[in-house]
Amino acid sequence: MKIHESAENYLETILILQHRNGMVRSVDIANELGFSKPSVSIFMKNLRENGYIVMASDGYITLTPAGRAIAETIYERHTLLSDWLTRLGVDPKVAAEDACRMEHVISAETFAAIKAHVQSAAGKTDKN
């Protein structure tokens, strides 16, 4: 399965919920994203069949190494872009919404350049 924006969002949500709650079930994902339980179940089946998650017999979901790598990449992009936009003066809610859209379409090269710039700017601010 080619990873599409929706799959990236699901994987990122699983990662966030694992950090927040420890364990994740489909119902937790449905509640977090505001989707129906049947829709989430279908998507979990697709992610499982493509090797991005493992679902235990008790219904708990774990990211595979491949799923975790994608989730962590998307989460890093979201966090950095959201923080950066907020520091530029964008309302935090708007920044989070824009970051959510940007994180899926930005190239690795462009993200790396933005990340280096943000880290460089933060270093200059810390020294002042």
Residue 120 has pLDDT above 90, yes or no: no
The class level of CATH for 70-127 reads: mainly alpha
CA dist., res. 54 & res. 18, Å (int): 13
CA dist., res. 28 & res. 73, Å (int): 22
3-state helix, strand, coil in the chain (%, to 5): 75, 5, 20
What are the residue ranges of CATH 1.10.10.10 in the chain? Answer: 5-64
In Å, what is the CA distance from 82 to each residue of 73, 85, 112, 124?
Answer: 14, 5, 15, 20
Q: Could you read off the pLDDT of 32-69 as tens digits, one per residue?
A: 999 999 999 999 999 999 999 999 999 999 999 999 99
Residue 1 has pLDDT above 50, yes or no: no
pLDDT higher at 123 or 93: 93
Residue 126 has pLDDT above 80, yes or no: no
Residue 118 has pLDDT above 50, yes or no: yes
Residue 2 has pLDDT above 60, yes or no: no
CATH number at 5-64: 1.10.10.10
Q: Could you read off the pLDDT of 14-27 as tens digits, one per residue?
A: 999 999 999 999 99
